[in-house]
Chains A and B, each alone.
Chain A
């Protein structure tokens, strides 16, 4: 069964460093998403991406964040100049359509020291 994959599974970085989180969505999906879950808190929407551009973003997704689909398979989330409060589990998801099921990857646990 097709699934969303994410790398790395864990990332530790120093405050102020840049990190890139990688995702491979399900191959025939057209919509891609990033969410995050701070430990003990709700899953929060960050951004959605369709047709090589951002279609929706939340207030959390400020200039520190960017997304890219560098090739036909990968979807990346870049966090510039990481802060302590960026420590969270970051989930990538994909769907075939906006009103369809969003399938989530296993997540990347980011720890900013």
Chain B
């Protein structure tokens, strides 16, 4: 898979359920960031997890990072219809560069 590939590409759940999205990457990273994008709109930063961290929480969001497997997951608990959006992971390289490499995203639909 390419750097920053999300899985699944699309996810449909009922309000109140949890949503889990996964991201895989290939190269060494400094950090991994998750963003949300409503249709045709801007990118909203959700959470940043550094390569020396394994888990972070922010409200209903939980992000894990497994550098040995080069993968991350984003869990949204107790989903709401307003969570409907595309979710992207983006990796920052470990070479002091600052270029973010984005995956193709997971389109999440939360049905009321």
Contacts and interface: CB of A to CB of B under 8 A. Distances in A.
A100 B97 CA distance: 11
Contacts of B92: 98-99
Interface residues of A, number: 26
A33 B102 contact: no
Contacts of B103: 42
Report whether over half of chain B's contact residues are helix, strand or loop; otherwise say mixed: strand
Contact of B98 (A95, A104, A106, A109): A95
A105 interface: yes
Contacts of A103: 45
B45 A99 contact: no
Interface stretch (A11-19, A43-51, A72-80): A43-51
Interface residues on B, range: 20 to 34
A110 to B, nearest CB: 13
A43 B102 contact: yes
Interface in A85-113: 89, 91, 93, 95, 98-107, 109
Interface of B: 30-31, 33, 35, 40-45, 48, 50, 88, 90, 92, 96-105
